[in-house]
Structure 1
Amino acid sequence: MLVKVKGDLVSISLEDLINFYPWFKNIVEELKKLEVNVEPFKAKGLAEVEIDCNRAVFEIEHITPPPEEEWKPYYRLEIKVNDVAKIRVLNVDEAQVRLWWNNVELATINLSSKTIESLTDPFWDLRLSKGEIRFRDLRRIVKIVSYLRGKGFTLSKYAAETLAKIHEKMGAKSFEIRLKLTIIDQEKVPSYNELLKHISNILVDKGLAIEETRGTRLIEMFEKPLP
């Protein structure tokens, strides 16, 4: 029996991802030289599943929402016997991978948008990690970010803020700039997060990392409808 499924590709391999993002192969090889391991994290796409019905044992579950919930009921089909299905990935719409070093998660990157989604905040996240990282090894995170930036990756707002914290703890000098923005073309104004991400990536190209200190008036301007 041949079935096509679309949605989360839970067990996708790194080799499958490279088939759909061939430019990522060289990056993986360079990261290995830095002793960084790459692990598929999330992926969405289309796959073809060939099932041996003579050996397969299925479990079908009909899931319905509680009366107070609004989501639609759905069916879940689970194969209870191993090695009775062959999966072939046909297409990948979105993919994220995690970067690991010394059993510590360093970063999560999105291959589809070429974005560094998050960086490990070594002054918080690592308390919950299995591995340990020394203060001087923060430079490894900075080196990886610099390498990925050179390959066309941009920083998310969250990643840019974490990078600023890392540089500050490494002894980088900080200074504060206050900006007053005036809207001259409402049609071109992005969301607050999009604007901050754009500014962050411009500054990173100039050797500067940004850490947001929110002002109430600026937040309100972007979150409320303009008069």
Structure 2
Amino acid sequence: MPSLNEAVVLVTGANGGIGSHFVYEALARGATKVYATARNPRTWDDERIVPLALDVTDAASIREAVEKASDVTVLINNAGASVSSAGILTHSDEEIRRNVETNFLGPLFLARAFAPILTTKNAAVIIDIHSALSWYAVAGIYSATKAALWSATNSLRLELAPAGVHVVGVHVGYVDTAMAAHATDPKLDPADLVRTVFDATEAGEYEVLADTTSIQLKAGLSAPIEAVYPQLGATP
């Protein structure tokens, strides 16, 4: 069964609200080392935390991270980009490319790069942070990239399971971080999210539906498209 005890963890987007909780909670559960990665890594207050520069959209940066963190047993793909408007037709070229590269290609390429390392470890884990919006296309390219990551995570799980690598996909609605500062809907405490994710991981679960929004949206996938998107009924 996967365990954080004595694990060596790499967290992308470690400077953010969710990422920093992943760092500290991993240590609280017995991790011996955590690589806290970001484009511009910050200073941490624990010698078990290793700041590491990583741009998930840059192939050379990924290769360098793999070389420096060859002892990793748990990879957490947490880094993400968002958009300022909901309409996929109104996004700028830059927004579309940034979301595709950060939310989809980055985690996929990072998982592919670390796979040869993880397959040699005992109880290795990949955790991908999706979104409830993977299943609800109201956030334009953000929803599209999170849906793509959900599919890629399913593929990674099937391909890596024979080698003993446990792959976890996480779905959650709004989390109380800077990225969701604009939202007025209820928000999950990032500390609660991280505890839920690690509890599920250590219990051997493959998928985490971290809040009511995620549970309801996944359950609704079998409904007619007009029920999922009632606004279609208002179209001429």
User: Which is richer in helix?
Assistant: 2
If asked which structure has higher relative contact order (CA below 8 Å, sep 6+), I would say: 2
Shorter-chain TM-score range:
under 0.3
Q: Higher strand proportion, which one?
A: 1
TM-score by length of 1: 0.28
Q: TM-score, normalised by structure 2?
A: 0.27
Give the greater-gyration-radius structure (CA): 1
